[in-house]
Amino acid sequence: MKVNNKNYQTVWFKDSSVFMIEQNLLPFEFKIFESKNYLQTCQAIKTMIVRGAGAIGATAGFAMAQASIESINFNTEKKLSFLKKALKNIHETRPTAQNLFMASDRVFQKAIISTKDAILEAQDIANEDAMACKKIGELGNTLIKQNYKIATHCNAGWLAFANYGSALSPVYEANKNGKNIFVWVDETRPRSQGARLTAWELKNENVNHKIIADNATAHLMSIGQIDMIITGADRIAANGDTANKIGTLEKAIAAKYYGIPFYIAAPSSTFDFKMASGKEIKIEERSQNEILYQSGLNSKNKLEKILVASPNSNAFNPAFDVTPAELITGYITEKGIFNRIQHGLFDNIA
């Protein structure tokens, strides 16, 4: 995607460094962060400098490639021990996102063979992610009619993947095809990925949109202002249960009540067929400070973090929830659009 008339991917690898858009600064500042070793890359994933299912996966693959470079002069025994430790460290950064595990495991297997193979595999994963998202946009566009009003939650645009995005990819394709669409952007507390990232993307792409409070979506459904909902996913179990950013579940419940189509857009790499249902998905719990504090521009145009809650209260901060398959209308993947009733078709994705 273009930023200031220059093409960017969300994350990329050059020499032995991983470069990524510093998403904690958006939309107020556009800055590229360089990570020079795998531990720095792990920290970037953990602190959400890079975030989103596909982008996390691509970054995790690159982190594993960096670990391979760092172990290039080790003997066989020491190298294997170092790579196993690196894999464990990468796995522990974000426990819910399936793409992280898929990518780091794939690159680990190649790193055992050679560093060159590890780097090539990591790059392949990033390229596969971008191409899958491009296809998701083309297929998802067929579901979008002229003048549709679409709601989304969190950020599943190109910032959340190597490129194009999942939930926003069909939106961009529909906009490109002149369908005169409109997007309702959930702010997505507590980190405000919708208000800060999705809105920034849509503005750059000249897509009509408005930011809404998270608890306004059901109201808009009730007055006929939403035609469909598309969200992304961080992990999809074998039965179709889907983990996504906290707040997705309540959107799906309201959509079911009002008879509004609710779609999950995700590449096949997000499906985890080793997990029978969403009950097995580990839900990441993040710092309570993400709820108690918010950051924004102060009067001096500088980013500032301030307390926005009772000083004497604690907070509970689950990063994801799980939407049961029966609430999901369909899954938009690069391999086709799958109806929630046709779970047998998931075998074709594996």
Last residue of a domain, one of 133, 168, 196: 133
Residues 213 and 81 in one domain: no
- pLDDT band at residue 349 under the 50/70/90 scheme: low
Q: Active-site residues: which are they?
A: 234
Residues 126 and 155 in one domain: no
Nearest-10 Cα torsion for 249, 251, 252, 254: 120
Residues 11 and 152 in one domain: no
Residues 215 and 286 in one domain: yes
Contact assessment for residue 194 and residue 155, using Cβ atoms and an 8 Å cutoff: yes
Residues 72 and 145 in one domain: no
Can you give the CATH number for the domain in which 17 is found?
1.20.120.420
**Enclosing domain of residue 94:** 2-133
Residues 180 and 51 in one domain: no
What tens digit of pLDDT does each residue of 303-344 get? 899 999 999 999 999 999 999 999 999 999 999 999 864 545
Residue 296: pLDDT above 50? yes
Residues 96 and 151 in one domain: no
Last residue of a domain, one of 133, 162, 192: 133
Question: What's the total number of domains in the chain?
Answer: 2
Residues 125 and 144 in one domain: no
Q: How large is the average pLDDT for residues 206-220? A: 97
If you ran DSSP here, which 8-state letter would residue 53 be given? Answer: H
Structure tokens belonging to residue 285: 């719990």
What tens digit of pLDDT does each residue of 97-143 get? 999 999 999 999 999 999 999 999 999 999 999 999 999 999 999 99
How wide is the angle at C-alpha 146 spanned by C-alphas 172 and 176, nearest 5°?
Answer: 25
Residues 124 and 145 in one domain: no
Residues 111 and 211 in one domain: no
d(C-alpha 54, C-alpha 60), whole Å = 10
What residue type is 22 in one-letter code? E
Contact assessment for residue 153 and residue 183, using Cβ atoms and an 8 Å cutoff: no
Task: Write down the pTM of the prediction.
Answer: 0.93
Q: What are phi and psi of 275, to 5 degrees?
A: -100, 120
Q: How large is the average pLDDT for residues 188-208? A: 96
Choose among 282, 276, 274: nearest CA to 325: 276
